[in-house]
A and B are shown apart, each in its own frame.
Chain A
Amino acid sequence: MRFSVLASGSTGNAVYVENDEHSFLIDAGLSGKKMEQLFANIDRDMKSLSGILVTHEHSDHIKGLGVIARKYNIPVFANAKTWTAMDGLVGTIPTDLCFDFDMETVKTFGGLDIQSFAVSHDAAEPMFYTFYENGRKLVVITDTGYVSDRMKGYISAADAYVFESNHDVSMLQMGKYPWSIKRRILSDVGHVSNEDAAVAMADVVAEKPTQIYLAHLSKDNNMKDLARMSVEQTLQSCGIIAGEYLHLHDTDANEPTKLVTV
């Protein structure tokens, strides 16, 4: 199993996952043209996608969804509430390309099992995904106000994570956002901060080589270096030294990460 975080942040999100038989896109939050460019950057073609897995209906996750699905005839998977919420936001997707992927269920594509799990976010029914192949596990989790014990059950002991590390609380509080937005981001249905993400990571990682990609960084209230330092130091206070078995990686709003094998 291989993956690349194509783009991550409030300007658009997309993660690519493949095995030898199938390939999936988790969200298509950038324009069709930009998505094509990102695929070209990792030397892949959208034509060969087996499906697009939608997490929720916010525009930074579905901006290019309709265009891509129609142009390349790609099946789209989402839960019923998300389908309803997307109505009118992505144009018409032919019904033969629309599939339900219910919350907390597993779908199998060849040797690849994909499990959905609920997150806490202000969308209709937001959910993210865990991928399993040959005993290896990849978790994609962003857009959650907190990481509950139930979520931790789904995401524990993975070999690789795409993990939200959205903001630094001080930067957010000092920043220019209106109070209502700040309150929303800090709420249980907002986004997880660097420190909260690290505390959750400390609870779920197993003592084995683990790659963590810090994702969905706020453009205004976070920085790559700050997110990494903050997560590193919080992990350290939880007794985990980054660089020993756990390795932190950056993601970018415009550049894909290298395609890596889990």
Chain B
Amino acid sequence: MTKLDWSRTKTIFIWVFLILNLFLYTQYLESYKEGEKIEVLGETMEIEARLKGDNITYIALPNNKESAAYYSGQIKNFSPSEVPYFTNQSAKIENNNKLIVTMDKPVKLQKSDTRDSYTDFVHNNVYEGDSYVLWGIDEEKKEATFFQKVNDVTLYYNVRGYIKLYWDDNNRIISYEQTMLEKHEKLDKEQNLLTARQVLQILYGKNLLKPDSQITEMNLGYSTIVQLTQTQVFAPTWEVRVKRADDTEEIHFVNAVQGRIVEIQNDLSEIVEQTEDLEE
């Protein structure tokens, strides 16, 4: 009878188990990768299929920045020595932080495209006008609303960062009001942002995208998340414009970091009134 060579047996066992472990590990890796593929495909298919099923169409989704920071800004208090900034204007200051300016002589708009002409007017005649962006025009009320920009994108519906232009029947600018947030500062480190597709999934999941509607625009901006006594904090926010089946438009705002729906009161005049009531 031959004697068992334990040393050799041990070596064989080590090799066998090493090879077995390598084999099992590659199997595990493969199944993990497969699983990941299925999950991603599943998610993609799911939202696309669901939107298609409800006849919801959408524009080519924007490739947004992967990260952005929260920002802060301070409410600007206008001082009498600072106004008026431009000729042909008489200004008064309300509650220290709002300029109400009347044009001494109404200004006739130059361009036929009113959007451009309002923007030109603001850029050329309003203090730091180029830090505001046109948000909406109300032909009936004869007013155009501009929102201030933060980190070069729109800060939505902040009562301390807007301009409202007013014109007369002859399409001449007669007055405007302005509030401003200054000393914009980046807060903390950059945060990972949700993609446009993830935002659509959130909106769809919350039943905010109705059948037969059309997503016409998706933009990244900022919304106000914290209001301290002198300072406000702004969070990266997705703006999603949706045209409904009855041709009306609705705009949804989604916090681009946390994915929560941002409830923005979108009647600026109402917010202004409420804020002023509180200040009184």
Query: Which residues does A use to contact B, with CB under 8 Å?
Result: 168, 170-171, 174-176, 220, 223-226, 229-230, 233-234, 236-237
Contact B233 A175 (CB under 8 A): no
Q: Contacts A223-B70, A226-B187 hold; do A170 and B260 have CB atoms under 8 A apart?
A: no
* CB of B255, distance to nearest CB on chain A (Å): 7
Contact B233 A226 (CB under 8 A): yes
In Å, the complex CA distance between A40 and B228 comes to 39
Contact B228 A176 (CB under 8 A): no
In Å, the complex CA distance between A176 and B257 comes to 10
Contact B187 A171 (CB under 8 A): no
Contact A175 B72 (CB under 8 A): no
Contact A223 B231 (CB under 8 A): no
Q: Contacts A224-B188, A225-B72, A229-B72 hold; do A175 and B258 have CB atoms under 8 A apart?
A: yes
Contact A170 B227 (CB under 8 A): yes
In Å, the complex CA distance between A68 and B96 comes to 58
In Å, the complex CA distance between A224 and B230 comes to 17
At the interface, is chain B mostly helix, strand, loop or mixed? Answer: strand
Residue in A174, A224, A225, A237 whose CB lies within 8 Å of B185: A225
Contact A233 B185 (CB under 8 A): no
Residues of chain B with a CB closer than 8 A to A171's CB: 225-226
Judge whether B11 is part of the interface by a CB distance below 8 angstroms: no
In Å, the complex CA distance between A219 and B178 comes to 36
Residues of chain A with a CB closer than 8 A to B235's CB: 174
Judge whether B84 is part of the interface by a CB distance below 8 angstroms: no
In Å, the complex CA distance between A192 and B18 comes to 54
Judge whether B129 is part of the interface by a CB distance below 8 angstroms: no
Q: Contacts A175-B260, A229-B72 hold; do A236 and B229 have CB atoms under 8 A apart?
A: yes
Judge whether B211 is part of the interface by a CB distance below 8 angstroms: no
| Extra inter-chain contacts (17) besides given A170-B226, A174-B235, A226-B70, CB under 8 Å | A170-B225, A171-B225, A174-B225, A174-B260, A223-B187, A223-B188, A224-B188, A225-B185, A225-B188, A226-B72, A226-B226, A226-B233, A229-B72, A229-B231, A233-B230, A234-B229, A237-B229
Judge whether B259 is part of the interface by a CB distance below 8 angstroms: yes
Contact B187 A176 (CB under 8 A): no
Find residues 221-260 in chain B having any chain A CB closer than 8 Å to their own CB. 225-231, 233, 235, 255, 258-260
Residues of chain A with a CB closer than 8 A to B225's CB: 170-171, 174
Residues of chain A with a CB closer than 8 A to B187's CB: 223, 225-226
Residues of chain A with a CB closer than 8 A to B226's CB: 168, 170-171, 226, 230
In Å, the complex CA distance between A233 and B226 comes to 13
Residues of chain A with a CB closer than 8 A to B258's CB: 174-176, 220
Closest to B261 in A: A174
Residues of chain A with a CB closer than 8 A to B70's CB: 223, 226
* CB of A47, distance to nearest CB on chain B (Å): 35
What are 12 residue pairs bridging A and B, where the CB atoms are less than 8 Å apart in the complex?
A168-B233, A174-B255, A174-B260, A175-B258, A225-B187, A226-B72, A226-B188, A229-B72, A229-B228, A230-B226, A233-B230, A237-B229
In Å, the complex CA distance between A171 and B230 comes to 17
Q: Contacts A223-B188, A225-B187 hold; do A230 and B259 have CB atoms under 8 A apart?
A: no
Binary contact readout B258-277 vs A (1 if CB under 8 angstroms, 0 otherwise) = 11101000000000000000
Residues of chain A with a CB closer than 8 A to B231's CB: 229, 233
In Å, the complex CA distance between A236 and B228 comes to 12
In Å, the complex CA distance between A168 and B262 comes to 17
Closest to B259 in A: A176
Residues of chain B with a CB closer than 8 A to A226's CB: 70, 72, 187-188, 226, 233
Find residues 55-98 in chain B having any chain A CB closer than 8 Å to their own CB. 70, 72
Q: Contacts A225-B72, A226-B72 hold; do A176 and B229 have CB atoms under 8 A apart?
A: no
Residues of chain B with a CB closer than 8 A to A170's CB: 225-227
Residues of chain B with a CB closer than 8 A to A237's CB: 229
